[in-house]
Structure 1
């Protein structure tokens, strides 16, 4: 009878980031500003790529797809977190929790595979510039993006389906600010070892496979850059590489810390802080890293502004 009651979950309650009133206000203003910048920055980059013919290349096709993913990724988590910050009763329904988790897993997984595709794109562009357009054909680019989403859907379906077998009892309080697998496993009354194994295998494979692919692509790219005769060309190529790798490093380190460790109440606070990096900060950093340091994007923006002013 107790087991039956445990399975009828109606809602969860988040502990959130903090209970200090002054800190709540500060975090609300900070994260609201970051979210607005995330949406405007990524949406602006998508619009600029769409309206600028000189940016209709595979590199910017992937960059536009990454910006779209960042908007979706951030919007899955941040609006709910902002609504919860000023309140004391941070409640989410059980279906709402699973829905948030599902889309978070879809967009998060798709992003790491898209970053791997972008690393391969940079390798081809720098090492084989004359064959770049032919090697990175529109069909291949679309297939790589579609494959990223397909893996994301598969990963999300596995983890969400596995959560449905669990029972939840007692005070259903999640020590987090959004629904994620690890905090949910910490409050289940069912043996979570199967779910922990799935997280370790699937998330570990996704992070390891894409990370190895990115490192291999950039290792080959560094070798190709070293053969360039012009110092200016080498500097431009390394600048592009370091920008991409900076975003990848932050994302992978924080995600690995969150998912590749055992489920333990003692680690939840640290995991909560780590998750801020890849759920809130990475989506706002990507347009800055990939566009503000890019002369082609700056030139396209200035050209578009002059064209609008003249019109």
Structure 2
């Protein structure tokens, strides 16, 4: 709950823009960070773009798992594009101001794509579960129509929820300090600047975090626990080692993404540290989208062979 008093001079007019501080506290590292994040952005765009092209152009990649990967690659590109280009502009041009509407738009897209990623990771874990635990029923359970419905549901489910959440946050009065100590317009840094009571907004944030964070995470853990039990029964030690390697890689990315996001949005509001939130946000908005293509696709031998064919052409 936000009961902080604002100085009288801040109550005269409502704010029309914010200042996104980003990494302004490290002035001597601005160009280094610009180069680093630019390289990361290029890697994310190229790796996800390559996966999307391969799955669409090669007839061998028309199975449900690659249909999900193609959509997941598109989602990752959208997700990082909601934050990284603006951050690069702030670092390179030192233009840190953003309008109220621009800030609301960025927050809304980050929340939509972040919520969609949570659902997609759960969907891909379920696909893996059906393929390994019920291989005979897989073609029936995961037919093309079902896959389209699942993907469409993942893309659209969070849109109305995140729009309502963003609208509620930006319906609050902002009449005090306008400096956001973050590298994008995230929920809690914005709520700290609000003049009114934010109790309802805090409760909505926690509710959405449980629905789009904890529930998919628990479903993923349930799916992988079943998968692990099946793997342990495999007769070949080589097959077990290969399956464990793949599952452990997937789980590592899932834990990194969900762990950082859930800690950020489910911690009590009073325990939020601006520096900690900034570091945690780097994990789920930038680092995991960079690792996901490598873990989910580029370690796959079939994908590597298809990539070589594409490069030869």
1:290 aligns with 2:289: no
Call closer, same or farther: CA 1:92–1:291 in 2, change over 3 Å.
same
List runs of 5+ in structure 2 lacking aligned partners: 1-7
Does structure 1 retain, via aligned residues, the 8 Å contact 2:180–2:189?
yes
1:140 aligns with 2:135: no
Does structure 1 retain, via aligned residues, the 8 Å contact 2:176–2:194?
no
Q: How far apart in 2 are the matches of 1:89 and 1:61?
A: 40
1:49 aligns with 2:55: yes
Does structure 1 retain, via aligned residues, the 8 Å contact 2:260–2:280?
yes
1:68 aligns with 2:103: no
The alignment partner of 1:166 has SS state of: coil
1:167 aligns with 2:162: no
Partner of 1:97: 103
List runs of 5+ in structure 1 lacking aligned partners: none
Partner of 1:81: 87
Deviations 1:196-254 (A, max 9, x none): 11001111222111011101111111112222222233223222211211111110111
Partner of 1:262: 268
Task: Tell me which of 18, 28, 51 is aligned to 1:22.
Answer: 28
Does structure 2 retain, via aligned residues, the 8 Å contact 1:127–1:225?
no
Deviations 1:167-190 (A, max 9, x none): 111221111111111110111111
Matches for 1:147-186 after TM superposition, within 5 Å:
147-186=153-192
Q: How far apart in 1 are the matches of 2:271 and 2:237?
A: 52
Deviations 1:32-79 (A, max 9, x none): 000011111100110011111111111111111111011000000000
The alignment partner of 1:191 has SS state of: coil
CA-CA distance at 1:156 after TM superposition: 1.0
Does structure 2 retain, via aligned residues, the 8 Å contact 1:185–1:192?
yes
CA-CA distance at 1:145 after TM superposition: 1.3
What value does the CA root-mean-square deviation take over the aligned residues? 1.9
Does structure 1 retain, via aligned residues, the 8 Å contact 2:10–2:176?
no
Q: How far apart in 2 are the matches of 1:89 and 1:225?
A: 53
Deviations 1:239-286 (A, max 9, x none): 221121111111011101211113348611100111011111111111
Q: How far apart in 2 are the matches of 1:145 and 1:2?
A: 50
Deviations 1:141-183 (A, max 9, x none): 1111111122220331221121133111122111111111111
Call closer, same or farther: CA 1:236–1:215 in 2, change over 3 Å.
same
Does structure 2 retain, via aligned residues, the 8 Å contact 1:186–1:263?
no
Task: Tell me which of 119, 123, 126 is aligned to 1:113.
Answer: 119
Q: How far apart in 1 are the matches of 2:30 and 2:270?
A: 26
1:241 aligns with 2:247: yes
